Amino acid sequence: MNGVLIIDKPPSLTSHDVVNRVRRILHERSVGHLGTLDPIATGVLPLVIGNLTRLAQFYSSCDKTYEGIIRFGFATDTYDVQGQPTGPAQAVTLSLEQLRHYARQFQGRFEQMPPPFSAKKIQGVPAYKLARQHAEVPLKPVQVEVKEFEISLVENDRAHFHARVASGTYMRSVAHDLGQLVGCGAHLESLRRTAVGEFELTDAHTLEELDAASKKGQTEDLFIHPRKLLPQFPCVTANQEMAARIRTGRPLNLPELSQARLVKVFTGQRELIAIATRVAGTLFHAKIVLAGESQLTQRETM
């Protein structure tokens, strides 16, 4: 079973919990996700299944879009609603214009300190494990990019927002730092991811829908059509000779794609067999082989 499946992650489950459930539903061990969501977060969680787990490398830097609510008045040790308050709650009076002014300071590229309770590893140990043990968490700021951050509504001590960020950006840290800037503390109350790269909520299915489809033998009906994957790469449909060459590690001559760096290679409409990279002129060589007559011929090249 090879494919890409978008799950609408429910609250309380970790991304790894979702992966484990999908493994059990599909009876497929090879399942991975394209970007962790915090347990409180919901929304778009793309899963790669079977041979297509090898596509994960092409999604490591894709943008992510969120909607959520920031609560002002106190910060928490996790920077979200699941944490413990780090001080007494304050009464706050906020205006939409005021928060939009402050929000503009979080757009563009800047240094961000990750939350102490995060999956970022410190000498191989996730930061959240050290934080739960009350051990020192020597995190360092990292450069992130917030491409859009818009406060859409203010209701008492809560602000609704929309954001589009580059990979590696923590919305929990944005909420926490915004609270410090306003001067009253804040934390992330809710978060919903609405897009990852080309995948949107309209592509997503619940775990219950997946389970029902699996029992009917209709699982693959929920998969993203392979032609929709990685839309920034052009496609070529290989004939039998071309497919044999790509599957056995031999180069292809693709003069019509001489300006492309990476190309998706299909047989028929649905079988994605390889991602090829241009090595010289109009010659392309398989970077990864995703399907072949023998899995022993699969190989990767740089």
pLDDT at 137: 57
Q: What is the pLDDT of residues 5-31, one digit of tens each?
A: 999 999 989 899 999 999 999 999 999
Kindly report which listed range (65-74, 260-269, 287-296) carries the lowest average pLDDT score. Answer: 287-296
C-alpha to C-alpha distances, 70 to 73, 103, 152, 176, 195, nearest whole angstrom: 10, 12, 11, 9, 19
Residue 191 binned pLDDT confidence (cut-offs 50, 70, 90):
very high
Q: Which domain holds residue 19?
A: 3-62+198-224
Cα–Cα distance between 201 and 197 in angstroms, integer? 12
Residues 220 and 234 in one domain: no
CATH number at residue 240: 2.30.130.10
Percent of residues, the chain, with pLDDT higher than 70: 89
Share of residues in the chain with pLDDT > 90 (%): 76
Q: Is 302 contained in some domain?
A: no
According to DSSP, the residues that pair with 192 across neighbouring strands are 42, 67
Question: Residues 289, 297: contact at Cβ < 8 Å?
Answer: yes
Q: Are residues 167 and 93 in the same domain?
A: yes
**Residues 256-263: what's their mean pLDDT?**
91
Rounded average pLDDT over 230-250: 93
**Cα torsion for 78, 82, 86, 89, to the nearest 10°?**
140
Q: Are residues 99 and 246 in the same domain?
A: no
* 63 tagged catalytic: no
Residue 295 CB burial class (10 angstroms; 0-12, 13-18, ≥19): exposed
Residues 72 and 182 in one domain: yes
Residue 5: the pLDDT is 97
pLDDT tens, 128-177?
A: 444 444 455 567 889 999 999 999 999 999 999 999 999 999 999 999 99
Task: Give the per-residue pLDDT at 119.
Answer: 53
User: Residue 301 — very low, low, confident or very high, per pLDDT cuts 50/70/90?
Assistant: very low
Whether residue 124 lies inside any domain: the answer is yes
Quick one: 74 and 177 in the same domain?
Answer: yes
Rounded to whole angstroms, the Cα distance separating 244 from 88 reads: 68
Query: Per-residue confidence at 258, pLDDT binned at 50, 70, 90?
Result: confident
CATH code for position 114 = 3.30.2350.10
Same domain, 285 and 215: no
12 and 76 both lie in a single domain = no
Residues 92 and 175 in one domain: yes
What is the Cα–Cα distance from 66 to 161, expressed in whole angstroms? 8
> Which amino acid is it at 162?
H
Cβ-proximal residues to 46 (8 Å cutoff; 6+ apart), any chain = 4, 5, 6, 7, 33, 34, 35, 59, 196, 197, 199
Of 38, 157, 177, 203, the active-site residue reads: 38
Residue in the structure block whose two tokens are 């051990």: 135
The residue count for the chain: 302
pLDDT at position 267 is: 93
pLDDT of 300 reads 37
